[in-house]
């Protein structure tokens, strides 16, 4: 990409203008820059989406009266993982808060790490 520097009339060195000498190279540069930005965005935003996305790694539970998220995490969650982490993952997966469980509600509980 070549840019030619031209001086604006009466501006001295303060206001410089640049002129595109090769429009094809400029467009190619813009396309490559956009592809890099889009690729970086996809990589950054999509890096954790595959974690636990397989439906077979979840157990779907219907909430009964008296159930707590902590009890369900202990009973159905991975046995080798800290219960606090399991509760946090259950909340993130289902978009809920621990105090917001309602009888009859269905939630997904991860089976494995």
Instruction: Give domain limits for the chain.
Output: 3-45, 55-110
Q: What is the pTM of this model?
A: 0.48
- Residues 20-54: b if buried by 16+ CB within 10 A, e if exposed: eeeeeeeeeeeeeeeeeeeeeeeeeeeeeeeebee
For residue 52, pLDDT beyond 60: no
Fold of 55-110: Membrane-bound Lytic Murein Transglycosylase D; Chain A (3.10.350)
pLDDT of residue 42: 87
Summary mean pLDDT of the chain: 81
């Amino acid at each position: 990409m070549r840019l030619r520097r031209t001086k604006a009339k009466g501006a001295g060195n303060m206001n410089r203008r640049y002129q595109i000498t090769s429009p094809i190279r400029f467009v190619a540069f813009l396309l490559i820059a956009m592809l890099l930005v889009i690729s970086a965005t996809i990589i950054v935003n999509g890096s954790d989406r595959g974690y636990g996305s397989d439906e077979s790694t979840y157990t779907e539970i219907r909430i009964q009266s008296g159930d707590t998220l902590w009890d369900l995490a202990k009973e159905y969650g991975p046995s080798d993982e800290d219960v606090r982490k399991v509760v946090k993952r259950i909340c993130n997966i289902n978009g809920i808060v621990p105090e917001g469980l309602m009888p009859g509600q269905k939630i997904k509980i991860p089976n494995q790490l």
